[in-house]
A and B are shown apart, each in its own frame.
Chain A
């Protein structure tokens, strides 16, 4: 019968489209995974030579000598910690303001938009800004300037996550607390904050992951230091800059250190992402259904 044949053809076509689409999506995933494996494999194989205990116990060496990245790891830890310490209070503060006080207002929407621009802003431009603001008046590079530049990179991530996580907290919680006569600041800090804490901590971890691999902001601020340094007002060694300088040198030993350092950074960032995800999963927010 005509209608049945017609619908049969359509049915087959729909199934065909479905099959094609699903095959394509598998291929897309394979595409992504192939590149991932390729890049990780390249990094691993080129850095293998330098992947030993010395990497974590020795300082950055002169060319063609054995050494490690100890001062770089320490410097990166210090600069990142300082950056997060600077960026977190401001970020959480701004996030709370956006979610609790300025949710629908023009000013709030503007700040949210501005935050998105800052989030997508090229980090090299942020580095140049801090160069003009901090390095030039100080007269020289410093770990402190590097930390400020990285704080500027981390800030929008924390603002965004805090804002979104607080908005996810159900309104009933707010209203219940307020109706009990609890002042606004206590409601926010003790109740809402606690409810959204996993999400906010996730935001901090993601911000940390983001700044761990950034080279461009440090190019004009903290620069680098081949020795062990604990002075915040002087240039300090850090992993991205060491990778940058050593990778572009003609010496094989330095190249291997650069790749090995890159591998460590990758693993660190992966650990942070996994940690962030684990925290979120443990206290999942109820979905709006």
Chain B
């Protein structure tokens, strides 16, 4: 082939180019198909998991109908199953966890991004992330053998005597000083969830353009005002997303909650009383569940947990969507 002459006119060359283009188109199509299959597989897996729970729970739902979700009776011997107590326990312990975890995580993120001197940021940040790496069963064991005795002997009696005697809130805070119960479970969950929310907040706070912050400082804002009025609004969507992911995690946590929630099948407003959660009920009872109706009820509970996670995340999406609309994006 001569180097100077343009190659486009040679028929062999043209054929080679055309072959290569066809091959590329084929490979592109194959590539796209494979990837789409992977994406759809993710969809299929989730639907499969949710549906298999629903399928497994069909006997229970056929027997009890919608009452299953609103009855507080869980009697294995009499074959009567009602999911209200576990559902309530799951929601309450997760709410307590968030009420504690969100402000604390926010404080940690502020400290790590605004306050801490440079040399302190990485060690402290890593230390907080180490909390996320502790296996959940350790949280359960530590909660039961170390935290619960201290709470039961020193903290809860005082709460019972002070807050428990007040008119309305008192209902929430009275109870026997067992050390285990809804509040302890919420506290342990909070500690588990803090590293997730804190690390999301911290990463997102770091993406705020410095010129925004510097303009605020130039106008005389205090550090707190910069955080509250500039950083937080800028990162609001991501922060909410992070909080909801933490909530999702708190809803499904099994091992830690089982050890400290007290596993009592009674509905009680008092946070110092024991309760039970969906995940802990499944973990406790599935291995020994011989009765098919019992098994089916546990699987139905699993489906409810999926449903709860779905609702929580959908709410988060809705909230984010509304925020975006408001901001005109």
Contacts and interface: CB of A to CB of B under 8 A. Distances in A.
Whether A and B touch directly in their complex, counting CB atoms under 8 A apart, is answered as yes
Interface of A: 14-15, 17-18, 21-22, 24-29, 31-33, 35-36, 38-40, 42-43, 89-94, 96-98, 100-102, 107-108, 110-111, 113-126, 128-129, 132-133, 152, 155-156, 159, 183-186, 188, 209, 212-216, 219-220, 240, 243-244, 247, 258-259, 262, 265-266, 269-270, 272-274, 277, 287-289
Interface of B: 24-25, 27-28, 30-32, 34-43, 45-49, 52-53, 56, 103-108, 110-112, 115, 124, 126-139, 141-142, 145-146, 191, 194-195, 198, 207, 209-211, 222-225, 227-228, 245, 248-249, 251-255, 278-279, 282-283, 286-287, 299, 302, 305-306, 309-310, 312-314, 317
Contacts of B37: 93
Contact of A126 (B49, B142, B227): B49
A93 B38 contact: yes
Contact of A113 (B103, B138, B317): B317
23 contacts: A18-B222, A28-B107, A29-B107, A29-B124, A32-B195, A42-B145, A97-B35, A113-B314, A117-B310, A121-B306, A122-B253, A122-B309, A129-B48, A129-B49, A129-B52, A132-B56, A183-B25, A213-B135, A262-B134, A270-B126, A272-B133, A274-B126, A288-B207
Q: Across chains A and B, which 5 residue pairs bring their CB atoms closest together, nearest first? A: A120-B248, A28-B107, A122-B252, A93-B38, A269-B133
Instruction: Say what secondary structure dominates the interface of chain B.
Output: helix
B87 to A, nearest CB: 13
Contacts of A123: 252, 254
Contacts of A113: 313-314, 317
A155 B42 contact: yes
A113 B287 CA distance: 32
Given A17-B224, A97-B36, A262-B138, A36 B108 contact: no
A28 B104 contact: yes
A124 B283 contact: yes
B104 A31 contact: yes
Contacts of B255: 215-216, 244
A264 B112 CA distance: 28
A244 B137 contact: yes
Contact of A42 (B103, B105, B115, B142): B142
A129 B53 contact: yes
Nearest to A96: B35
A186 B32 CA distance: 12
Contact of B43 (A114, A186, A219): A114
Given A31-B104, A185-B27, A94 B134 contact: no
Contact of B128 (A15, A36, A183): A36
Contacts of A115: 42, 46
Most-contacted residue by chain A among B56, B137, B302, B317 (CB, 10 A): B137
Contacts of B209: 289
Contact of B313 (A116, A128, A152): A116
Contacts of B225: 14, 18
A243 B39 contact: no
Given A26-B107, A128-B53, A186-B24, 8 more contacts: A27-B107, A28-B106, A40-B134, A108-B39, A128-B52, A128-B56, A215-B254, A270-B126
Contacts of A188: 31
